[in-house]
Amino acid sequence: MCLSWSGFIPPTTLKLRGEGILRGQDKYEETIKLDEERLRAKVPQTRSFWTVYEYLKAFPVTSIPIAAKHLNLSYNSISKAFATLQKYNLIMQGSNTTRNRVWKYACLDFIFTLPSINQTT
């Protein structure tokens, strides 16, 4: 027997959560569009840079070694792309360590915040 959690959640709450997801998706798409326009005007059109940027859109929290492994690019190529993205304030360091730093797409931080109870009721 399989129970659905939606049976325990009032329909109005589900509707509000669904609308919140759509608003979040719209915000994500708008943020990406604005960032891409800004980058295309300022950053050279190198394959490695744009490969890293596309990866960050899909995985907004990562590290250089993990990105290098997934993209089959060198550590130095990823590091250079991250430095450029940091220069334009698109990513920020998520940890204070000097080794194995975690980076996150700064403009997409709204993805990681949970709505307060007042926003859903």
Instruction: Dump pLDDT digits (tens) for 42-98.
Output: 888 889 999 999 999 889 889 999 999 999 999 999 999 999 999 998 888 887 777
pLDDT, position 121: 47
pLDDT, position 44: 80
Cα 95 to Cα 48, 60, 84, 90, 92: the distances in Å are: 24, 14, 18, 16, 9
The token pair at 15 is: 């509707």
Cα 116 to Cα 3, 38, 99: the distances in Å are: 26, 32, 35
Q: Which residue has the higher pLDDT, 23 or 58?
A: 58
pLDDT, position 96: 79
| pLDDT of 3 strictly over 60 | no
Mean pLDDT of the chain: 77
Confidence of residue 7 (pLDDT cuts 50, 70, 90): very low
| pLDDT of 32 strictly over 80 | yes
Backbone angles phi, psi at 104, to 5 degrees: -135, 150
Residue pair 76/48 in contact by the 8 Å Cβ criterion = no
pLDDT, position 116: 52
Q: What is the pTM of this model?
A: 0.68
pLDDT, position 31: 82
Residue pair 103/55 in contact by the 8 Å Cβ criterion = no
